[in-house]
Structure 1
């Protein structure tokens, strides 16, 4: 694997832009193609469920870089076209406009697509929240003050529910977890978020799956729950996680499972790398495959791939960073460093649930694996070092609160939500 003279990046989000900027910053002067399915210049997605949805921001505030900044990267920029296939023998990406783009090194940064409820294609009033158009469509619908059913209680669902209530919308949140974000944060902090949402007028149906969407004349009228009840709704937001965009790689020989399967350096073989939500890489310390849907992770991986492409044969370095995600809900700022999901213990080490200001450490085995802070950003950052070092669990005690995934006890027809980033 020699240093390439032509690099193609498929995916023009945070990860893809980070690759392009990293390559140019490190002195790459070869041909650099950036392919994006959307017609927009690379833009930031976290505000879609926050500032843009509230109306505080308009779309012109979302671009990650100005048009002039993009021009300075000297890109072969292909926007509004989608990759449909990869010819790895000829080292060409096939686009839906009939053209082909060659490469010596290819970076797959195609992100993930929102999961949808079965048999809901074409039904009016059903929304997902992944793209600028998705957010504008939901914002327009919320302006009519509908009865909104939010299916899923991950970050996107919880944030959108909070925004909708602030706009005066009637909201019901439906989740198969014990409480909003309980599968990521644990039952105690999940209960705190439940209390806050209810105080702000959100009705929460927890521990129950969704069977179907009811309709009339092709428009959603409600959500039928697995227990037989129906929640009336004029609009339905589906926030049940996302799946990596890898279908276009079928038959290419690139290893695909829960994302593009890479080694610890984000290399998938045959001149192909991956970055962002689509990348499943071997974590250098645990040896386990990991795929993270965090905004900061996407940018960091993009820079890491750029450096590794230019490092030359045998000099690529493993990607090992501390994942970070944040969420703003009402007057709560929730911050997470590391991996709290599937931890087996949690302990509040600063503040309290009662004060709604706290820092909680999460452990797996005898090591710290994550930290969550609520309204204590400085103290939360201080504890980040324990996560980065995978420090021995402090003051381990048998009475430490267990942190399990409540969905493990739910019926098999329910859908678990992967931790996804809105930040």
Structure 2
């Protein structure tokens, strides 16, 4: 038995490849199928941009065991069905990536309302939340996802500006963001979205072979897909 932890794009793709090779695999996830692509699918511009990957996730018939807390050494799963223990012989960790915090991304000053990492902002938008009116996006590196984000916000009446810069930023405001000073400019805004890069998501310190975005730490799913395809059985 092979265990795949994580039912996002990498986990589902890997499970399908394992099945094609004749292996029996179990896929576990705390939330369910799709990972962050499930949020992207709810936003028109993101769904179009990531269509290839979203469609693959939605069309996958891989069974996912949901609501799990899992350890790999020794193998133990606590799920709504109860406790499962075993002696599985191979683990693939496909738990994905999370954004760096604003502080780790060079954002200083007041910790007031209206400051979001990119992934948190996307999740709230996917839930139908309006995160502000005048939005500043500060990105520490170029990522293709920034364009569909800008298109979505502009199409829905947000005043949005995207800066790709390494300059440190200082946040000012009383209860909520009011302005950000960066690169010699003072920019009025009531929401700040920060993208400083990503890091592996593995809060349980699971052991095994790491696959997908837990390795690549990106929003570029071409890189995630290439990482999955390199796995040899």
TM-score (normalizing by structure 1): 0.43
Task: Tell me how far 1:10 sits from its aligned partner.
Answer: 1.0
Task: Tell me how far 1:175 sits from its aligned partner.
Answer: 3.1
1:299 aligned onto 2:225:
yes
Judge conservation of contact 2:180–2:186 (CA < 8 Å) in 1: yes
Secondary structure of 2:118's aligned partner? coil
Task: Tell me how far 1:275 sits from its aligned partner.
Answer: 1.0
Judge conservation of contact 1:223–1:232 (CA < 8 Å) in 2: yes
Judge conservation of contact 1:210–1:225 (CA < 8 Å) in 2: yes
Q: Which residue of 1 aligns with 2:9?
A: 14
Of 154, 174, 180, the residue aligned with 2:142 is 154
Judge conservation of contact 1:46–1:295 (CA < 8 Å) in 2: no
Of 116, 119, 136, the residue aligned with 1:130 is 119
Q: Which residue of 1 aligns with 2:95?
A: 110
> What RMSD, in angstroms, separates the aligned Cα atoms of the two structures?
3.8
1:115-194 paired onto structure 2 within 5 Å: 115-118=100-103, 123-130=112-119, 133-137=123-127, 140-141=129-130, 146-152=133-139, 154-155=142-143, 156-177=145-166
Q: How many residues align?
A: 219
Gaps in structure 2 of 5+ consecutive residues:
none
Judge conservation of contact 1:150–1:161 (CA < 8 Å) in 2: no
Deviations 1:191-238 (CA, angstroms, capped at 9, x unpaired): xxxxxxxxxxxxxxxxx2213x33433x333324375x5422112211
1:38 aligned onto 2:38:
no
Gaps in structure 1 of 5+ consecutive residues:
1-5, 178-207, 255-271, 280-290, 310-423
Q: Against the structure 1 CA distance between its residues 93 and 277, is the aligned structure 2 distance closer, same or farther, given a 3 Å change threshold?
A: farther
TM-score (normalizing by structure 2): 0.73
Partners of 1:303 and 1:247 in 2: how far apart? 25
1:196-275 paired onto structure 2 within 5 Å: 208-211=167-170, 213-217=171-175, 219-225=176-182, 227=184, 229-249=185-205, 272-275=208-211
Partners of 2:110 and 2:21 in 1: how far apart? 45
Q: Name which structure has the greater RCO, CA cutoff 8 Å, separation 6+.
A: 2
Find the structure with the greater CA-based Rg.
Answer: 1
Task: Tell me how far 1:66 sits from its aligned partner.
Answer: 4.5
Partners of 2:77 and 2:112 in 1: how far apart? 31
Secondary structure of 1:148's aligned partner? strand
Q: Which residue of 2 aligns with 1:339?
A: none
Deviations 1:341-370 (CA, angstroms, capped at 9, x unpaired): xxxxxxxxxxxxxxxxxxxxxxxxxxxxxx
Judge conservation of contact 1:42–1:63 (CA < 8 Å) in 2: no
Q: Against the structure 1 CA distance between its residues 109 and 93, is the aligned structure 2 distance closer, same or farther, given a 3 Å change threshold?
A: farther
Partners of 2:2 and 2:68 in 1: how far apart? 18
Q: Which residue of 2 aligns with 1:408?
A: none
Q: Which residue of 2 aligns with 1:375?
A: none
Partners of 2:112 and 2:214 in 1: how far apart? 28
Q: Which residue of 2 aligns with 1:24?
A: 19
